Homo-oligomer: A and B are copies of this chain.
Amino acid sequence: MKVNNKIYRTVWLENRSVFMIDQTLLPFEFKIFEAKNYHTTCQAIKTMIVRGAGAIGAAAGYAMAQAFFDAPDKGFKEFIAKAKTDIENTRPTAQNLFYATNRVCAAAFKSQTPRKTAVQEAHKIANEDADNAKRIGELGSGLIRSGFKLMTHCNAGWLAFVDWGTALAPTYVSHHNSKNVFVYVSETRPRSQGAKLTAWELKNEGIDHAIIADAASASFISQRKVDLIIVGADRIAANGDVANKTGTLAKAIIAKEYNIPFYVAAPTSTIDLDCQTGRRITIEQRSEDEVLYQTGLNSKGKIEKILVCSPGSKALNPAFDVTPAQYITGLITEKGIIKPDNNSIAELLSQ
Protein backbone atom coordinates (compact mmCIF):
# COMPACT_ATOMS: atom_id res chain seq x y z
CA MET A 1 0.00 0.00 0.00
CA LYS A 2 0.98 3.65 -0.31
CA VAL A 3 3.18 5.70 1.99
CA ASN A 4 4.05 9.17 0.73
CA ASN A 5 2.74 7.96 -2.63
CA LYS A 6 5.20 5.08 -2.86
CA ILE A 7 4.07 1.42 -2.71
CA TYR A 8 5.32 -0.58 0.27
CA ARG A 9 4.80 -3.94 1.87
CA THR A 10 5.08 -4.28 5.65
CA VAL A 11 8.05 -6.66 5.31
CA TRP A 12 10.15 -7.81 2.34
CA LEU A 13 13.46 -9.51 1.41
CA GLU A 14 16.05 -7.82 -0.80
CA ASN A 15 19.34 -9.64 -1.47
CA ARG A 16 20.12 -11.00 1.98
CA SER A 17 18.42 -8.30 4.06
CA VAL A 18 14.91 -8.29 5.53
CA PHE A 19 13.37 -4.81 5.37
CA MET A 20 10.50 -3.82 7.63
CA ILE A 21 8.44 -0.69 8.28
CA ASP A 22 9.40 0.15 11.87
CA GLN A 23 6.00 -0.01 13.60
CA THR A 24 7.37 1.09 16.96
CA LEU A 25 7.77 4.61 15.55
CA LEU A 26 4.43 4.91 13.72
CA PRO A 27 2.47 7.11 13.23
CA PHE A 28 4.95 9.76 14.29
CA GLU A 29 7.94 8.60 12.21
CA PHE A 30 8.19 6.49 9.06
CA LYS A 31 11.45 4.55 8.92
CA ILE A 32 12.52 1.34 7.21
CA PHE A 33 14.47 -1.06 9.40
CA GLU A 34 17.06 -3.31 7.72
CA ALA A 35 18.00 -6.66 9.27
CA LYS A 36 21.15 -8.04 7.62
CA ASN A 37 20.97 -11.47 9.25
CA TYR A 38 18.43 -13.72 10.94
CA HIS A 39 19.57 -12.66 14.42
CA THR A 40 18.58 -9.06 13.73
CA THR A 41 15.28 -10.14 12.15
CA CYS A 42 14.54 -12.16 15.32
CA GLN A 43 15.27 -9.08 17.39
CA ALA A 44 12.89 -7.04 15.22
CA ILE A 45 10.05 -9.55 15.73
CA LYS A 46 10.70 -9.61 19.47
CA THR A 47 10.70 -5.82 19.88
CA MET A 48 7.61 -5.46 17.65
CA ILE A 49 9.29 -3.48 14.90
CA VAL A 50 7.11 -5.85 12.89
CA ARG A 51 3.74 -6.89 14.41
CA GLY A 52 0.43 -8.47 13.36
CA ALA A 53 -0.26 -12.13 12.56
CA GLY A 54 0.45 -12.10 8.82
CA ALA A 55 3.41 -9.75 9.01
CA ILE A 56 5.05 -11.80 11.78
CA GLY A 57 4.61 -14.98 9.72
CA ALA A 58 6.24 -13.44 6.66
CA ALA A 59 9.10 -11.98 8.71
CA ALA A 60 9.71 -15.40 10.32
CA GLY A 61 9.78 -17.07 6.88
CA TYR A 62 12.32 -14.55 5.67
CA ALA A 63 14.39 -14.94 8.85
CA MET A 64 14.45 -18.69 8.21
CA ALA A 65 15.63 -18.07 4.63
CA GLN A 66 18.36 -15.74 5.96
CA ALA A 67 19.53 -18.55 8.23
CA PHE A 68 20.05 -20.74 5.16
CA PHE A 69 22.34 -18.04 3.70
CA ASP A 70 24.19 -17.54 6.95
CA ALA A 71 24.70 -21.27 7.67
CA PRO A 72 28.26 -22.54 7.09
CA ASP A 73 28.64 -25.69 4.97
CA LYS A 74 30.20 -27.46 7.91
CA GLY A 75 27.56 -27.87 10.63
CA PHE A 76 24.82 -26.70 8.24
CA LYS A 77 22.00 -28.72 9.78
CA GLU A 78 22.91 -27.79 13.35
CA PHE A 79 23.02 -24.11 12.46
CA ILE A 80 19.56 -24.29 10.82
CA ALA A 81 18.09 -26.19 13.76
CA LYS A 82 19.34 -23.55 16.21
CA ALA A 83 18.13 -20.71 13.99
CA LYS A 84 14.67 -22.30 13.79
CA THR A 85 14.44 -22.43 17.59
CA ASP A 86 15.68 -18.85 17.89
CA ILE A 87 13.03 -17.61 15.47
CA GLU A 88 10.23 -19.60 17.13
CA ASN A 89 11.19 -18.22 20.53
CA THR A 90 10.69 -14.58 19.52
CA ARG A 91 6.88 -14.48 19.94
CA PRO A 92 6.03 -18.04 20.98
CA THR A 93 2.23 -17.59 20.90
CA ALA A 94 2.15 -16.44 17.28
CA GLN A 95 0.80 -19.38 15.23
CA ASN A 96 1.90 -17.94 11.88
CA LEU A 97 5.51 -17.95 13.04
CA PHE A 98 5.70 -21.76 13.43
CA TYR A 99 3.78 -22.27 10.22
CA ALA A 100 6.40 -20.20 8.34
CA THR A 101 9.56 -21.72 9.85
CA ASN A 102 8.25 -25.27 9.34
CA ARG A 103 7.22 -24.60 5.76
CA VAL A 104 10.55 -23.01 4.76
CA CYS A 105 12.60 -25.81 6.37
CA ALA A 106 10.49 -28.61 4.89
CA ALA A 107 10.76 -27.22 1.37
CA ALA A 108 14.48 -26.44 1.62
CA PHE A 109 15.53 -29.81 3.00
CA LYS A 110 13.69 -31.62 0.20
CA SER A 111 15.55 -29.58 -2.40
CA GLN A 112 18.93 -29.94 -4.13
CA THR A 113 19.42 -26.19 -3.72
CA PRO A 114 18.23 -25.57 -0.17
CA ARG A 115 19.33 -21.89 0.02
CA LYS A 116 17.49 -20.97 -3.18
CA THR A 117 14.40 -23.00 -2.24
CA ALA A 118 14.25 -21.44 1.24
CA VAL A 119 14.09 -17.97 -0.29
CA GLN A 120 11.45 -19.07 -2.81
CA GLU A 121 9.30 -20.62 -0.09
CA ALA A 122 9.59 -17.54 2.14
CA HIS A 123 8.49 -15.33 -0.77
CA LYS A 124 5.59 -17.72 -1.38
CA ILE A 125 4.41 -17.39 2.23
CA ALA A 126 4.51 -13.59 2.06
CA ASN A 127 2.76 -13.54 -1.32
CA GLU A 128 0.03 -15.93 -0.15
CA ASP A 129 -0.62 -13.67 2.86
CA ALA A 130 -0.95 -10.64 0.57
CA ASP A 131 -3.05 -12.60 -1.95
CA ASN A 132 -5.46 -13.89 0.71
CA ALA A 133 -5.83 -10.38 2.08
CA LYS A 134 -6.44 -8.95 -1.37
CA ARG A 135 -9.07 -11.65 -2.04
CA ILE A 136 -10.80 -10.71 1.25
CA GLY A 137 -10.74 -7.15 -0.02
CA GLU A 138 -12.28 -8.07 -3.36
CA LEU A 139 -15.03 -10.22 -1.83
CA GLY A 140 -15.74 -7.69 0.92
CA SER A 141 -15.88 -4.76 -1.49
CA GLY A 142 -18.99 -6.36 -2.96
CA LEU A 143 -20.76 -5.26 0.24
CA ILE A 144 -19.72 -1.63 -0.21
CA ARG A 145 -21.58 0.86 -2.38
CA SER A 146 -20.20 4.24 -3.35
CA GLY A 147 -21.13 6.81 -0.70
CA PHE A 148 -20.93 4.28 2.13
CA LYS A 149 -19.83 5.33 5.58
CA LEU A 150 -17.92 2.46 7.18
CA MET A 151 -16.81 1.91 10.73
CA THR A 152 -13.90 -0.18 11.98
CA HIS A 153 -12.15 -0.89 15.27
CA CYS A 154 -8.47 -1.39 16.10
CA ASN A 155 -6.05 -2.03 13.22
CA ALA A 156 -6.69 -4.94 10.91
CA GLY A 157 -5.07 -3.07 8.06
CA TRP A 158 -2.08 -3.83 5.89
CA LEU A 159 0.41 -3.07 8.69
CA ALA A 160 -0.78 -6.24 10.46
CA PHE A 161 -0.29 -8.33 7.32
CA VAL A 162 2.11 -8.19 4.39
CA ASP A 163 -0.27 -6.05 2.37
CA TRP A 164 -3.97 -5.07 2.14
CA GLY A 165 -5.02 -6.21 5.60
CA THR A 166 -8.37 -7.80 6.46
CA ALA A 167 -10.98 -5.43 7.91
CA LEU A 168 -9.59 -2.55 5.85
CA ALA A 169 -8.98 -4.53 2.63
CA PRO A 170 -12.58 -4.15 1.32
CA THR A 171 -12.26 -0.39 1.88
CA TYR A 172 -8.97 -0.27 -0.03
CA VAL A 173 -10.35 -2.29 -2.94
CA SER A 174 -13.47 -0.10 -3.06
CA HIS A 175 -11.32 3.03 -3.04
CA HIS A 176 -9.12 1.64 -5.84
CA ASN A 177 -12.31 0.94 -7.79
CA SER A 178 -13.26 4.61 -7.43
CA LYS A 179 -16.03 4.05 -4.91
CA ASN A 180 -16.43 7.01 -2.61
CA VAL A 181 -16.04 5.80 1.00
CA PHE A 182 -15.68 7.36 4.45
CA VAL A 183 -14.40 5.53 7.54
CA TYR A 184 -15.19 6.18 11.21
CA VAL A 185 -11.98 5.11 12.95
CA SER A 186 -12.67 4.09 16.55
CA GLU A 187 -9.54 5.13 18.47
CA THR A 188 -9.30 1.75 20.28
CA ARG A 189 -8.16 2.60 23.75
CA PRO A 190 -6.00 1.75 25.52
CA ARG A 191 -3.32 1.27 22.85
CA SER A 192 -5.04 3.49 20.25
CA GLN A 193 -4.28 1.27 17.26
CA GLY A 194 -7.26 2.86 15.50
CA ALA A 195 -6.17 6.45 16.09
CA LYS A 196 -2.51 5.68 15.46
CA LEU A 197 -2.26 2.92 12.81
CA THR A 198 -5.61 2.72 11.00
CA ALA A 199 -5.83 6.52 10.66
CA TRP A 200 -2.24 6.58 9.40
CA GLU A 201 -2.97 3.90 6.78
CA LEU A 202 -6.12 5.63 5.54
CA LYS A 203 -4.44 9.02 5.32
CA ASN A 204 -1.64 7.54 3.23
CA GLU A 205 -4.15 5.98 0.85
CA GLY A 206 -6.06 9.26 0.65
CA ILE A 207 -9.27 7.77 2.10
CA ASP A 208 -11.60 10.19 3.88
CA HIS A 209 -11.92 9.32 7.58
CA ALA A 210 -12.43 10.69 11.08
CA ILE A 211 -11.17 9.39 14.41
CA ILE A 212 -13.85 9.02 17.09
CA ALA A 213 -13.76 8.12 20.77
CA ASP A 214 -14.73 4.46 21.20
CA ALA A 215 -17.63 5.59 23.38
CA ALA A 216 -19.03 7.67 20.52
CA SER A 217 -19.62 4.66 18.21
CA ALA A 218 -23.18 4.15 19.48
CA SER A 219 -23.98 7.78 18.84
CA PHE A 220 -23.16 7.50 15.12
CA ILE A 221 -24.76 4.04 14.74
CA SER A 222 -27.99 5.10 16.49
CA GLN A 223 -28.29 8.07 14.14
CA ARG A 224 -27.84 5.67 11.19
CA LYS A 225 -24.77 7.55 10.03
CA VAL A 226 -22.97 4.21 9.54
CA ASP A 227 -23.77 1.85 6.64
CA LEU A 228 -21.45 -1.06 7.40
CA ILE A 229 -19.06 -2.12 10.15
CA ILE A 230 -16.08 -4.40 9.41
CA VAL A 231 -13.60 -5.55 12.05
CA GLY A 232 -10.81 -8.16 12.13
CA ALA A 233 -10.47 -11.25 14.33
CA ASP A 234 -7.84 -12.78 16.56
CA ARG A 235 -9.59 -16.14 16.72
CA ILE A 236 -12.83 -17.51 15.31
CA ALA A 237 -14.45 -20.47 17.09
CA ALA A 238 -16.05 -23.38 15.23
CA ASN A 239 -19.53 -21.92 15.92
CA GLY A 240 -18.65 -18.46 14.57
CA ASP A 241 -18.01 -16.66 17.88
CA VAL A 242 -15.21 -14.16 17.41
CA ALA A 243 -12.45 -13.01 19.76
CA ASN A 244 -11.14 -9.60 18.76
CA LYS A 245 -9.86 -6.38 20.33
CA THR A 246 -11.82 -5.06 23.34
CA GLY A 247 -14.67 -2.92 22.08
CA THR A 248 -15.73 -5.23 19.25
CA LEU A 249 -18.59 -6.76 21.27
CA ALA A 250 -20.13 -3.35 22.07
CA LYS A 251 -20.16 -2.34 18.41
CA ALA A 252 -21.68 -5.68 17.36
CA ILE A 253 -24.53 -5.49 19.91
CA ILE A 254 -25.34 -1.88 19.05
CA ALA A 255 -25.16 -2.58 15.31
CA LYS A 256 -27.68 -5.41 15.69
CA GLU A 257 -30.00 -3.16 17.74
CA TYR A 258 -30.10 -0.67 14.85
CA ASN A 259 -29.96 -3.26 12.01
CA ILE A 260 -26.57 -2.11 10.73
CA PRO A 261 -24.58 -4.96 9.06
CA PHE A 262 -21.61 -6.08 11.13
CA TYR A 263 -18.94 -8.23 9.39
CA VAL A 264 -15.73 -9.88 10.57
CA ALA A 265 -12.92 -10.15 7.98
CA ALA A 266 -10.16 -12.72 8.49
CA PRO A 267 -8.25 -15.40 6.58
CA THR A 268 -9.52 -18.96 7.14
CA SER A 269 -6.31 -19.62 9.09
CA THR A 270 -7.91 -17.59 11.92
CA ILE A 271 -10.65 -20.21 12.34
CA ASP A 272 -9.89 -22.64 15.16
CA LEU A 273 -12.05 -25.76 14.79
CA ASP A 274 -10.67 -27.13 18.05
CA CYS A 275 -12.33 -24.24 19.84
CA GLN A 276 -16.04 -25.06 19.88
CA THR A 277 -17.41 -21.77 21.19
CA GLY A 278 -16.14 -18.36 22.22
CA ARG A 279 -16.57 -19.31 25.88
CA ARG A 280 -13.48 -21.52 25.51
CA ILE A 281 -11.27 -18.59 24.50
CA THR A 282 -9.04 -17.29 27.26
CA ILE A 283 -8.85 -13.50 27.29
CA GLU A 284 -5.39 -12.00 27.78
CA GLN A 285 -5.30 -9.49 30.66
CA ARG A 286 -2.68 -6.90 29.81
CA SER A 287 -0.79 -4.43 31.97
CA GLU A 288 -2.85 -1.71 33.67
CA ASP A 289 -0.19 0.79 32.54
CA GLU A 290 -1.68 0.70 29.04
CA VAL A 291 -4.84 2.31 30.50
CA LEU A 292 -3.10 4.59 33.00
CA TYR A 293 -0.58 6.07 30.56
CA GLN A 294 -0.79 7.36 27.00
CA THR A 295 2.04 7.79 24.53
CA GLY A 296 2.15 10.57 21.97
CA LEU A 297 4.02 13.50 20.53
CA ASN A 298 4.78 16.39 22.88
CA SER A 299 5.00 20.05 21.89
CA LYS A 300 8.69 19.62 21.11
CA GLY A 301 7.98 16.79 18.64
CA LYS A 302 9.35 14.08 20.94
CA ILE A 303 7.49 10.86 21.76
CA GLU A 304 6.46 11.05 25.43
CA LYS A 305 4.45 8.91 27.87
CA ILE A 306 2.11 10.74 30.25
CA LEU A 307 -0.15 9.65 33.13
CA VAL A 308 -3.77 10.25 32.04
CA CYS A 309 -5.58 8.90 35.12
CA SER A 310 -5.90 9.95 38.74
CA PRO A 311 -2.60 9.01 40.43
CA GLY A 312 -2.87 5.95 42.66
CA SER A 313 -5.94 4.43 41.00
CA LYS A 314 -5.74 0.97 39.49
CA ALA A 315 -6.98 -0.18 36.09
CA LEU A 316 -8.28 -3.39 34.53
CA ASN A 317 -7.26 -4.13 30.96
CA PRO A 318 -8.79 -7.12 29.17
CA ALA A 319 -7.15 -6.98 25.72
CA PHE A 320 -9.88 -8.81 23.84
CA ASP A 321 -13.58 -9.58 24.08
CA VAL A 322 -15.71 -12.35 22.61
CA THR A 323 -18.59 -11.50 20.28
CA PRO A 324 -21.21 -14.27 20.08
CA ALA A 325 -22.01 -15.30 16.49
CA GLN A 326 -25.64 -14.10 16.86
CA TYR A 327 -24.44 -10.48 16.60
CA ILE A 328 -22.32 -11.06 13.48
CA THR A 329 -23.87 -10.66 10.02
CA GLY A 330 -21.14 -12.60 8.25
CA LEU A 331 -17.51 -13.66 8.00
CA ILE A 332 -15.44 -12.39 5.06
CA THR A 333 -12.67 -14.91 4.26
CA GLU A 334 -10.45 -15.43 1.22
CA LYS A 335 -12.63 -18.41 0.31
CA GLY A 336 -15.97 -16.61 0.49
CA ILE A 337 -18.41 -14.70 2.67
CA ILE A 338 -20.38 -16.98 4.98
CA LYS A 339 -22.81 -16.96 7.90
CA PRO A 340 -21.06 -17.43 11.25
CA ASP A 341 -22.34 -20.90 12.19
CA ASN A 342 -20.96 -24.45 12.53
CA ASN A 343 -22.26 -25.76 9.20
CA SER A 344 -21.19 -22.83 7.06
CA ILE A 345 -17.73 -22.80 8.63
CA ALA A 346 -17.22 -26.58 8.25
CA GLU A 347 -18.34 -26.42 4.63
CA LEU A 348 -16.01 -23.49 3.86
CA LEU A 349 -13.00 -25.24 5.32
CA SER A 350 -13.70 -28.47 3.42
CA GLN A 351 -13.42 -26.63 0.07
A residues lining the B interface (CB < 8 Å): 27-28, 153, 184-190, 192, 195-197, 199-200, 202-203, 209-220, 222, 246-247, 249-250, 253-254, 257, 283, 291-299, 304-318, 321-322
Question: Which residues on the B side are within 8 Å of A209 (C-beta)?
Answer: 313-314
**Once the chains are docked, how many angstroms separate the CA of A109 from the CA of B317?**
57
Nearest chain B CB to A222's CB is how many angstroms away?
Answer: 6
* Contacting residue for A215 out of B222, B250, B308, B309, CB 8 A: B250
* Contacting residue for A296 out of B215, B219, B307, B312, CB 8 A: B307
**Once the chains are docked, how many angstroms separate the CA of A214 from the CA of B305?**
20
Most B Cβ at <10 Å: residue of A28, A190, A211: A211
Question: Which residues on the B side are within 8 Å of A306 (C-beta)?
Answer: 294-298, 304, 306
Nearest chain B CB to A59's CB is how many angstroms away?
Answer: 23
Most B Cβ at <10 Å: residue of A28, A212, A305, A308: A308
Of the A-B pairs whose beta carbons lie under 8 Å apart in the complex, a sample of 21, sorted by A's number, is A187-B189, A189-B214, A190-B213, A196-B308, A196-B310, A199-B313, A203-B313, A209-B313, A211-B314, A211-B316, A212-B291, A214-B247, A215-B215, A215-B247, A215-B250, A216-B247, A216-B321, A298-B298, A298-B306, A299-B304, A306-B306
Most B Cβ at <10 Å: residue of A190, A192, A313: A313
Question: Which residues on the B side are within 8 Å of A293 (C-beta)?
Answer: 296
- A317/B250 in contact, CB under 8 A: no
- B213/A321 in contact, CB under 8 A: no
**Once the chains are docked, how many angstroms separate the CA of A203 from the CA of B315?**
13
Apart from A27-B310, A216-B321, A294-B294, 5 more pairs, CB < 8 Å? A189-B213, A195-B291, A215-B246, A294-B306, A296-B307
- B216/A317 in contact, CB under 8 A: yes
- B213/A309 in contact, CB under 8 A: no
Nearest chain B CB to A152's CB is how many angstroms away?
Answer: 13
- A27/B311 in contact, CB under 8 A: yes
**Once the chains are docked, how many angstroms separate the CA of A199 from the CA of B313?**
6
* Contacting residue for A253 out of B186, B202, B218, B296, CB 8 A: B218
Question: Which residues on the B side are within 8 Å of A321 (C-beta)?
Answer: 216, 218-219, 222
Question: Which residues on the B side are within 8 Å of A314 (C-beta)?
Answer: 209-211
